[in-house]
Amino acid sequence: LTRDSSILGPHHLDEFVRVWADYDPAATGRIHYTDMYEMLRNIAPPVGFGRKCPYRLAYKHLIRMNMPVAEDGTVHFTTTLFALIRESLSIKMRPGTISCTYISHVTKALTPLFHIF
């Protein structure tokens, strides 16, 4: 096994859940998109941006995440988590629809991590 903290693991999910709860105390599963920047600065890399991340680089990452924003200006927990994983692992998304096979593989890989919810 490795001690490399940049490899995504369950401890990264725990940190994301902990910080998300600070911004969503009512546990609605949604936070306002304007809180995303500050929230992601409170999460250490590789999932978040960390405190030392320059704001221009952080906003560049947010734009690349291509997050869907609801009409009320909120983003969803699961959508945010998957976007952060894609960004962290540098997974490039194809324009348009995603293949069902790809979604199936990702869902199977991440299902064991969702025992918390």
Kindly state the helix (H) or strand (E) to which residue 64 belongs, with its residue range. helix 55-65
Task: Please tell me the predicted confidence (pLDDT) of residue 2.
Answer: 47
Domain formed by 10-112, architecture: Orthogonal Bundle (1.10)
pLDDT at 104 > cutoff 60: yes
pLDDT, one tens digit per residue, over 76-85 is 999 988 888 8
Query: How is the chain split into domains, by residue range?
Result: 10-112
Q: Label residue 53 exposed, middle or buried (CB < 10 Å: 0-12, 13-18, 19+).
A: middle
**Over the stretch 18-75, which tens digit does the pLDDT of each residue have?**
999 999 999 999 999 889 888 988 888 888 888 888 888 888 888 888 888 899 999 9
Token look-up 């609801």 returns 70
Specify the residue for token string 């025992």: 115
Report d(CA 48, CA 28) in Å as an integer. 21
Tokens of 11: 């401890």
For the cut 50, the answer to whether the pLDDT of residue 1 exceeds it is: no
Provide the whole-model pTM: 0.68
